[in-house]
Structure 1
Amino acid sequence: MINCLIVDDSPIARDILSEYCKFSPKLNVAGSLGDALAARETMAVSDIDILYVDINMPVLSGIELVRTLPRQPQVIFTTAYSEFAVEAFELSACDYLVKPFSLDRFIIATEKAVKNIAADTKRRLPQSHFLFIKNEGAIHRVDAEKILYLEASRNNTKVVTEDDMLISTMSLSYIEKKLPGNGFQRVHRSFIINTSKVTSLHHNKVFIKKNAIPLGENFKSDFIKAIGLT
């Protein structure tokens, strides 16, 4: 469900918006409030996805409310005044509804907000990260999430995954630069591990399944921080 908050000092306007929201099955009306200060308090403790907010309100206007929010939801201004539209869109408002507005116009604005939320959610989803590893004259695509650890071995790098083991002519330092920013940690000058695959830590050894990997003294502090033990 998509949580929405209605903020308007007019009880009639709030009732109309509440009724309109019933025509959008994805919406959950998390609150219907008569002033912006109460709205700000509510939004500090609740996840609000869409804010339907009037502009002309006592104490704190809708525009002032939006301007002070640390995390801005999809904002749809609902007002009797058209002259604030430019200022509203400068605040990245999703839409601007001038009262009285129809149900159809409300639905158009709401669907736009819902699409924006879906797009934002998709952008925040972690993307699969693949590396291309040279191995015996061939190039293999390796899913970074499946890597257990990497080991420098003479002039080569051993890439050990959940399914396979590759010997690459690429250096450990070169592959390290291609790894995702989070989740991989150098624990020894010759080893980089996937911290999500660690099964245990004993003295100066890190265990990934049955593989015992040395934990270098110079790398211990950073590793302990990376797995959240400090």
Structure 2
Amino acid sequence: MYFITGTDTDSGKTLVSSALLHAAEGTKIGVKPIASGCEQTENGLRNSDALALIAESNIKLDYQQINPVAFKPAIAPHIAAKQQGLALTAQGVVDSLPLTELEKADFGLIEGAGGWRLPLGNGEYLSDSAKFLATQHQVGIILVVGMKLGCLNHALLTQEAILADGLTIVGWVANQVDPDMAYQDENLATLTQIMTSEFMGYVPHLSNPTAKQAAQSIRFTKAC
């Protein structure tokens, strides 16, 4: 089972998560425990990231099991929760997950929200949920680096934070979010030198990205 985090919002976590699910063999499921920016539908709030994971999963559950915490405003989840009088906690996020199905699957994936230190409120962070999962359920961390100006700093700081939390990054993926990034090759070369975990691949900028396209650029050999 894996927890996918990113260097920032819009780093490409969902694209990489969908690609990993697409490439995985056997039974597979991806979940998105917290999502903001959801659309109101006749069936309730729906999030495009969660729907993308559902599309690449062959273990089918009710939507609320895939995305248990959904907010309509595209704002920080802890602010949206406060507006609704809800309390988000790290353990609560873990308890909301369909852990039985995730553990039974040949490939189980949990996509985070925002970056590693996404606030939940009251001094708790989504990274605390990831720590619970890593220690209690042997969940490995995969880091998505959004390739744009500033990514070297963001990648290093995120790596340092994850390692400081006592967790292991099993791999990282470079995802080109800025098609006009200057010196992209040189930045990628620097990243491959300063990142300490397995380099799983570089996803180029895609005009209309699909999980199938992105999967062709990712390789993953480690198991957790």
> Scaled by the length of structure 1, what TM-score is found?
0.38
Which one has the bigger strand percentage? 1
> Scaled by the length of structure 2, what TM-score is found?
0.39
Structure number with greater CO (CA < 8 Å, separation at least 6) is 2
Which one has the largest radius of gyration? Answer: 1
